[in-house]
Amino acid sequence: MFELHHLTAVEQLDWLRRGEITSRELTEHYLARIERLDPELGAFTVVDSDAGLLRAEATESLSRALPLWGLPTADKDLVARAGRVSAFGSRAFAGRVADESDELAIVLDATGAVSLGSTAAPEFGFPSYTEPLAGRPASNPYDVSLGAGGSSGGAAVAVAAGLLPVAPGSDGGGSIRIPAAATGLVGLKPSRGRIAAASGFGSLGGLVVAGPLARTVADAGLLLDAFVAPSGSRSQWATEPPADRDDDGPFLSSATRGEGRFQLAVSVDSPWASAYDIRLDPEARAALDLAVREFVALGHGVDELALPEEPGYSPAFRAVWQAGAATLPLDDAQLALVEPLTRWLVEQGRELDARTLGEALAWLAGYERRIVALLAPFDAVLMPSLALTPRPIGWYDSEDGERNFAQQVEYTPFTSFANVAGLPAITLPVHTTPDGLPMGVQLVGRPGGERTLLALGAQLERRLRWHRRHPPAWVN
């Protein structure tokens, strides 16, 4: 039986603009699904039904040309919205109501979207899994005994299970691409500077940017366009990177047309390998091999690429990650409430001296230059998204911060380098394991290369038709 969530986000927006459905009707559909399904899935920390319905009705007075006019979505719990509880996944901020909205929430409103609440995130967004002690774990809709990844885990669960058409996430080391790979979605981390409201320049090391989680490549392009140009006009963001192709039109156009032949490299090397035991699960290899075969069949050039050993990567990245935790506004009483991983990060960060942090930042800046130069001959580099299949809930060490960090690296050793280098990267859900679990691959592009990544993703999507795969909750 047909239901509204069976439509793509692009199709839902088209129905809204043509008057086939109202924003209130679409909002009511998703709120009903959230009420029915989310108790098992844990996608949301806050469901703001009344505000969502009021907002849906208010969009009728807004211009239908707005890029997300009347379309339901939600804020990640790390994004504050005035008047709503914003706990950032932490018991230390339990019940905290935001006085002001963060810029990303303001931009979401400017696009004409309807926020239905807040999606689950781990404490302050540091872990690559979403199992906060402050709330429920975000369960993988393909197997609820498994985690959904993180830190945009709740957003990924909501989109994969049909509780939202699309959702924004944020990515400082893989936090969009990891849960996208674990839940069978397209997840796009834009170039540093692409989105003004979450450019990366405001975070230590320039790591954290915002981006879309979606079921299709076109839906990802739609949400990226909305964040780049919320009013629907061309972006005026001064530091937005230039396009890497002659076509500098909407990202949705590249994601829809899917045109071009490109030179790709394929690599299974990780900058973490000199410090941690990185092993590629056979299902991760199967996903990569499948993507290579399909790209060759499409006529793209594919070469192997070896990334050099980088012994300085682990200590430099860890120092910046810990220093970022040290900036959290936590007094002693609040520090006693945070999770062991967060406490370890904060305490380690507070012990760093200025010279150590300065050297780490300088090393990562040099690494960025080396990586950009190394990848320059290629339009994109194909890599695994994850080294392992989705992890069981409770798999990560809940007491030993050092061990927990190591487990995260073992699970996702291929994502953080794109944040350090400021490069765009997209996860594509190409493979399904014999147990029915999604496994993705990652394409890392040149600076400003989102259109190339979207075009490549659209080509692969047409062949593999992953948008027709859904978890059990989809039909419930």
**Angle separating helix axes 313-326 and 340-351, nearest 10 degrees:** 100
Cα–Cα dist 98/54, whole Å: 19
Confidence of residue 231 (pLDDT cuts 50, 70, 90): confident
Q: How many CB atoms lie within 10 A of CB 35?
A: 12
245, pLDDT greater than 80: no
pLDDT value for 232: 77
Q: Mean pLDDT, to the nearest integer, of 436-453?
A: 98
Q: What are phi and psi of 424, to 5 degrees?
A: -75, 150
The catalytic site residues sit at: 76, 151, 175
Helix (H, G, I), strand (E, B) or coil at 381: strand
pLDDT digit string, tens, across residues 321-371: 999 999 999 999 999 999 999 999 999 999 999 999 999 999 999 999 999
pLDDT value for 199: 87
Helix (H, G, I), strand (E, B) or coil at 128: coil
Closest C-alpha among 224, 201, 277 to residue 9: 224
Query: Do residues 164 and 215 make contact, with C-beta atoms less than 8 angstroms apart?
Result: no
pLDDT digit string, tens, across residues 12-71: 999 999 999 999 999 999 999 999 999 999 999 999 999 999 999 999 999 999 999 999
| Amino acid occupying residue 228 | V
312, pLDDT greater than 60: yes
- Across the chain, what does the average pLDDT equal? 96
Q: Which residues, including other chains, have CB under 8 Å from residue 311's CB and lie 6 or more apart?
A: 274, 275
Query: Do residues 352 and 378 make contact, with C-beta atoms less than 8 angstroms apart?
Result: no
pLDDT value for 363: 98
Q: What percent of the chain has pLDDT over 70?
A: 97
Query: Do residues 422 and 191 make contact, with C-beta atoms less than 8 angstroms apart?
Result: yes
pLDDT digit string, tens, across residues 359-380: 999 999 999 999 999 999 999 9
475, pLDDT greater than 70: yes
Closest C-alpha among 209, 54, 183 to residue 116: 54
Q: Mean pLDDT, to the nearest integer, of 431-444?
A: 98
How many angstroms from the chain centroid is the CA of residue 475?
25
Residue 272, judged by CB atoms within 10 A of its CB (0-12, 13-18, 19+), counts as buried
234, pLDDT greater than 80: no
Q: Mean pLDDT, to the nearest integer, of 425-447?
A: 98
Per DSSP, 159 falls in state: H
pLDDT digit string, tens, across residues 123-165: 999 999 999 999 999 999 999 999 999 999 999 999 999 999 9
Two tokens at 422? 């400021």
Q: What is the rounded end-to-end Cα distance, in angstroms, of the chain?
A: 11
pTM, entire model: 0.97
Closest C-alpha among 45, 42, 76 to residue 168: 76
201, pLDDT greater than 90: no
Q: Mean pLDDT, to the nearest integer, of 393-400?
A: 97
Q: Provide the pairing of β-strand 301-304 with 166-171.
A: unpaired
pLDDT value for 202: 84
168, pLDDT greater than 60: yes
Closest C-alpha among 230, 256, 178 to residue 67: 230
